[in-house]
Structure 1
């Protein structure tokens, strides 16, 4: 051993980072998909740019159902574009650090829904039908989110009771998800909203 450097093991932080990176990326991709897919068309992990401590998404099209999902049933989204979404993650203090979300270039063009098509009873029934569909869609989305939350809570309880790892690390995922969501700050710049009647 004339050269002791060649026989040294990699630093523990490097090994941990290499081991945690794929799991963290899966968790992050799952969270983004869960929270962005109701609002963004064609979200996929190939649009995801994951760097050291930051995550970037560019040029996302917003779904036409965005406003009704948000409870704004009287407006109809004609076009929606999200120019740049960047999430800064404090990797050194992921659990306790603040996560900064920067949204830049949010452009929405919406118009008021046109329900007038003749007599008042037709327009009222059309409005009622649109409102029912939109509310039904929101209820279905919320139910799916609650079912997933319940599943994660049950898996976390099972993991703590058994004191061992559960299917795909869901106990860890549930805890990490709660902690991440508690530490988020959001900044929105360059936002345009055009309303047409």
Structure 2
């Protein structure tokens, strides 16, 4: 009985150690490129048949690092109001693919951007209800980074047209240290050995 309790206690202690032993991972990376896919405009019937927008300030090469549990947010580009939309607000969508280099390995993260209530008025001012939302993120398998595309609303700068900023948040994936995993494995083996020994010592 004592051997069984001892084995279970060792296994429990090892599991706790492993759960608390997830180390903060630091990943050095470079945002290598931002690609924009097919744009789909859905103008309101009777409107000017244009969504009156442009993409500006696309991100260049940016090198950085991130350590769990912290994260960093980056501006990829701005969706800028252009022209005067005569009528009700339109909607449109496009895909965005961000390529991130970790060492010499490239990882891609893709999501669909959906814009609703997009209606630039005179002076390229946006409808306050304009918003950007993203679909699920498709990522290269095994990526050591988590990338979230962030939803947003319009910005009203003091000068120039209104815009919506397309941002992403990047964080590193936590890792479990090898010694903790080894300890858990050894504890499990020791527990099985203790139970086997106990059974052998039981009277027939």
For normalisation by structure 1, the TM-score amounts to: 0.30
Task: Give the number of the structure whose residues are more often helix, by fraction.
Answer: 1
Greater share of strand = 2
Bigger relative contact order, structure 1 or 2, given CA contacts below 8 A and separation 6+?
2
Computing the radius of gyration over CA atoms, which structure comes out larger, 1 or 2?
Answer: 2
